A and B are shown apart, each in its own frame.
Chain A
Amino acid sequence: MTGRPEVLLTMPARPEGVGVVRQALAGMADALDFEASVLADMKMAVTEACTNVVVHAYDADSGTLEVEMLAAEEGLTIVVRDHGSGIQPRPARSEPPALGLGLPLIAALSDAFELRGSAGQGTEVRMTFAYSRDGDPADANPVTGTVGIDGRWDPDAPPHG
C-alpha cells in the first residue's frame, strides 16, 4: 500500500448517495489536476462500483457504502466497499434487473482494478487512475459483447447484435 487515506466517505447504501460520491470525487480530482477525460472515466467506474453496492450488497436498506480515496505517487486509488453478503445476483428484488455491465465498465475505465471479497465478508472494489496515462485502458480491457434478448449484457455475443 502506498499513500494514506485522504478521504473516507461512509453513508447508507442508497441510490441518492451515488451522486454525492461523484461530487466528492470531482473535488478530489480537481485538486490533483486530472484531465477531464480521466475524471469522466473515474466518475463512471466509481458510479458503477457504488451502484453494485446499492443494488447487490444488502438484503434491506440497512447497510453502509464506504468510499476511500487515496492519493499516491502513481495515481488516485478509489476503494468502494460494503459489508454485505458478497457479489451475487439479487433476482428477488422488485426493481428491474441490472444490465450486468458494471464490472466490465470498471475494468475498461480504470488503469488498474482489483476485486476482493467472499460470501458473508463483504466486497471491495479497488480502482486506480493514473495521473498520466500511456494509453486508453479500454483498449487493454475492452467491453465485449452486447445486450442480449433477455435485456442483460451478454459478454460473449458478437457486437452490434
Chain B
Amino acid sequence: MEANPIVLDDTAGDVVVVVVEGEHDIYTAPTLRERLDEALDRGGGIVVDLTAATFVDSSVLGALLDARRRALEARQGFVVCVGETVEPGVQRILDITGLVPVLPVLRRRDEAIAAARNGASGS
C-alpha cells in the first residue's frame, strides 16, 4: 500500500476522477502530472478529488494549473473537489491564492463530475 496514492477512478464513465490521498509536494508532483496526463489522454472530463488529501503545496497547484490549461485547450471539462470538511493543509493554499474560482474548486465529487461533464474549467 502506497502511503500517498494517486489513482484514476473511471466509474463515472465519460468523466475520469483523479483521486489524491495524503500529503503531496515536490516529491509526488511528478506522479500527479503522470496521472493527470493519463486522465487528459482519455479525452473526456477530468475531476481531481482532493477530499482525502491532507496537504498540497505549490508544486501540486502547478501540476493542477498545467492540466487545467491543457483541458481548456482541448475543450475538456476540468474541476477540482475537496469534500465537505476540508483539511487546513488543502483549504488554506486554495483560499490565499484565490484559485477556488480559477481551477475551479467545488465541494462534492458528484457535483464536480456533473460540472466537468458540462465542460466547466473555471474562470
Contact = CB atoms under 8 A, between A and B. Distances in A.
Nearest to B57: A47
Interface string B61-74: 11101100100000
Contacts of B61: 99, 101
A159 B57 contact: no
Interface in B24-80: 25-27, 30, 33, 55, 57-59, 61-63, 65-66, 69
A96 B63 CA distance: 9
Contact of B98 (A16, A54, A143): A143
B8 interface: no
A105 B58 contact: yes
Interface residue range, chain B: 20 to 34
Interface of A: 15-16, 18-19, 22, 36-37, 40-41, 43-44, 47-48, 51, 54-55, 95-96, 98-99, 101-102, 105, 108-109, 138, 142-143, 146-147, 151, 159-161
16 contacts: A18-B27, A19-B23, A19-B25, A40-B89, A47-B55, A48-B57, A48-B58, A99-B58, A102-B58, A109-B96, A138-B96, A143-B96, A143-B97, A146-B97, A147-B99, A161-B123
